[in-house]
Amino acid sequence: MTEDERAVALADELERAGDLRSPEWRRAVERVPRHVFVPAFFERTDTPDRGTLWTPVHSDDDRWLDLAYRDETWVTQLDGHITPHDVDEPVGGDPTSSSTLPGLVVRMLEDLDVDDGANVLEVGTGSGYSTALLCERLGAGKVTSIEVDAGVAANAAAALRRAGHVPNLVVGDGLDGCPLAAPYDRIIATCSVRTIPSAWLVQARPGGRILVTVTGWLGGYELALLEVGDGGVAEGRFLPGAISFMVARPQAPPVVGDERWRAAFEMLADAGARPAVVGPGVLKDWTGAFVAQLAAPTVVAQAVRVDGGPWVEYCLDTASGAVAFLTPDADGGWTVRQAGPKRIWDDVEAAVRTWRDAGSPAKERFRIRTDGRVQTVSLDAPGGPVSWAPPL
């Protein structure tokens, strides 16, 4: 199969899956050579003994071209600096840049609902693949894309040039937007944010839309589509689907070192214990984790297993230093121990109970509103709307 045929086959696959819904975006997928944007990437393997490992795949690998046109996310950078060219063997690390699953990229572009001539800001250029799709659809003159990592941005710029596109590429923090090319009809982010930046509200045209995954530090993610009103207030809803993106670098959770965790564990020696009404399993539930982090926006959690014993959950509020520690009981329940200036698991339980009392509704029942200073997520519960506006 030629590369052109592979792009057409990818478009067929995305159309069958329901991600690709319009002839305009179909034409873009058919014309963008994805292999140009992923000349090398990492393939993920989950191992029982060494955790997740990343195996480099280069363009001289027999499988490379096939893989490049698969509807899969290909990680292109680990830990903010390791590229597939740096290693020959499988390595550990956290993904920090990728070419996102084409089905997700296309679905988001369809949800963005652009008209011909729309001026678009993309945050998170990454490999440049989604930027190229935007250029095919709207013309490079209507596309501004910002990438925080200079090396990633340089690779994307080279790939875009090879594919025949010269959009406005900016190296910098996309949370500041790009005032020079504003106002935008649409802003789309392929990294997630805890709070929608006020710069985006200022730089979006009234009536413009923002499509971004809203996240937090307990691992909940929801894709939000907001419309910007006249006074710089944006309101919107959450779209269906389990969608997650790496968090925008300045909004990533602080790294909690071993020493800080050790100090947290020591506080638990004097902590009061009670049966937990909500166990840590809520953090594994897609919407549950999202609700939990609304109530505990500065809390990070870590599941730990000591000497082959049961998994226990440690939570630490990075703002106040408060801790909560959940251990399993013999009867299948959980005990929570809390210490420090606040009771963080009490807050999580209160929010989760509100959500459960409303029938554990899915994300489509939540609304989001921001004026750039206060971001509120509200739930249309049977007893009236409930809102969370966490201080972040």
Ligand X SMILES: C[S@@+](CC[C@H](N)C(=O)[O-])C[C@H]1O[C@@H](n2cnc3c(N)ncnc32)[C@H](O)[C@@H]1O
Active-site residue list: 98
Q: Which long-range contacts (CB under 8 A, 24 or more apart) does 68-72 make?
A: 68/6, 68/34, 68/35, 68/38, 69/3, 69/6, 69/7, 69/9, 69/10, 69/34, 69/35, 71/10, 71/13, 71/14, 71/17, 71/101, 71/102, 71/103, 72/101
Residue 105 in the binding site for ligand X (CB under 6 A): yes
Stretch of residues binding ligand X (CB under 6 A), selected from 126-134, 220-228, 270-278, 351-359: 126-134
- Of 96 and 293, nearer to ligand X (C-beta) is 96
By CB under 6 A, residue 324 contacts ligand X? no
Q: What is the DSSP string of 205-262?
A: EEEEEEEEEEE-TTS-EEEEEEEE-TTS-EEEEE-SS----PBPGGGSPPP--HHHHH
Residue 324 CB, shortest distance to ligand X, in Å, is 29
Kindly state the smallest distance separating residue 100's Cβ from ligand X, in Å. Answer: 4
* Residue 243 binding ligand X, by CB under 6 A: no
**98 counts as binding ligand X under rule CB under 6 A:** yes
Are 9 and 34 in contact, with CB atoms under 8 Å apart?
A: no
Place of tokens 């572009």: 109
By CB under 6 A, name the one of 42, 84, 97, 209 that touches ligand X: 97
Which of these ranges, 127-135, 286-294, 353-361, 371-379, lies near ligand X under the rule CB under 6 A? 127-135
| Nearest position to ligand X, beta carbon | 126
Nearer to ligand X, 103 or 288 (CB): 103
Quote the CA–CA distance of 320 and 342 in Å, as a whole number. Answer: 8
Q: Are 84 and 98 in contact (CB under 8 A)?
A: no
In 3D space, the residue among 71, 70, 68, 94 whose CA is nearest the CA of residue 82 turns out to be: 94
* By CB under 6 A, residue 190 contacts ligand X: yes
Q: Which stretch binds ligand X (CB under 6 A): 62-70, 136-144, 169-177, 285-293?
A: 169-177
Question: Of these, 248, 292, 295, 316, which contacts ligand X (CB under 6 A)?
Answer: 248
Q: Does 173 bind ligand X (CB under 6 A)?
A: yes
According to CB under 6 A, which one of 129, 217, 238, 334 is a site residue for ligand X? 129
CA separation for the pair 273, 335 (Å, rounded): 7
Binding residues (CB under 6 A) for ligand X: these are: 96-100, 105, 123-124, 126-127, 129-130, 146-149, 152, 173-175, 190-191, 245-246, 248-250
